[in-house]
Chains A and B, each alone.
Chain A
Amino acid sequence: METLERIIAGHPFFVDLDPKYTELMVGCASNVRFKRGDFIFREGDPANTFYLLREGKVAVETIAPQHGPITVATLEAGEILGWSWLLAPYRWKHQARAQDNVRAIALDGKCLRGKCEENHDLGYEILKRFARIIEERLEATRLQLLDVYALR
Chain B
Amino acid sequence: MVPQQYLVRDVSKETADTFTLKLEPELGANGNSFRPGQFSMLWVFGVGELPISISGDPAQHDQLVYTVRSVGQATNALVTQAVGNGIGVRGPFGTGWPLEAAEGHDVIVVAGGIGLAPLRPVIYEVLQNRERYGRLVILYGARSPHDLLYRKELAAWARQRDTQVLITVDYGGMNWRGHVGVVTTLFKYARLKPSNSTAMVCGPEIMMRFVTLELESHGLDRSNVYLSMERNMKCGVGFCGHCQYGPYFICKDGPVFSYEQMRPMLEKYEI
The closest CB in chain A to the CB of B112 belongs to A149
Taking a contact as CB atoms closer than 8 A, the residue among A148, A150, A152 that contacts B182 in the complex is A148
B172 touches A152 (CB 8 A): no
The 0/1 profile, CB within 8 Å of B marked 1, for residues 22-63 of chain A is 000000000000000000000000000000000001010000
The 0/1 profile, CB within 8 Å of B marked 1, for residues 79-101 of chain A is 10000000000000000000100
B181 touches A144 (CB 8 A): yes
* Interface-located stretch among A1-9, A68-76, A106-114, A115-123: A68-76
Taking a contact as CB atoms closer than 8 A, the residue among B112, B171, B174, B178 that contacts A69 in the complex is B174
With contacts A68-B174, A70-B173, A140-B185 taken as known, whether A149 is within 8 angstroms of B141 at the C-beta atoms is yes
Chain B nearest CB from A138 CB (Å) reads 12
A143 touches B180 (CB 8 A): no
Tell yes or no: A15 within 8 A of B by CB. Answer: no
Tell yes or no: B222 within 8 A of A by CB. Answer: no
Tell yes or no: B177 within 8 A of A by CB. Answer: yes
Assembled-state Cα–Cα distance A89/B180 (Å)? 27
Can you list 18 A-B contacts with CB-CB less than 8 angstroms, sorted by A residue number?
A57-B177, A70-B171, A70-B172, A70-B174, A72-B180, A74-B181, A140-B185, A143-B184, A143-B210, A146-B206, A148-B207, A149-B113, A149-B147, A149-B203, A149-B204, A150-B113, A150-B143, A151-B207
9 extra A-B contacts, CB within 8 A, seeds A74-B179, A148-B141, A148-B203: A72-B180, A74-B178, A78-B188, A79-B188, A140-B184, A143-B184, A144-B181, A148-B182, A149-B112
Chain A positions within 8 Å of B, measured between CB atoms, are 57, 59, 67-74, 76, 78-79, 99, 140, 143-144, 146-152
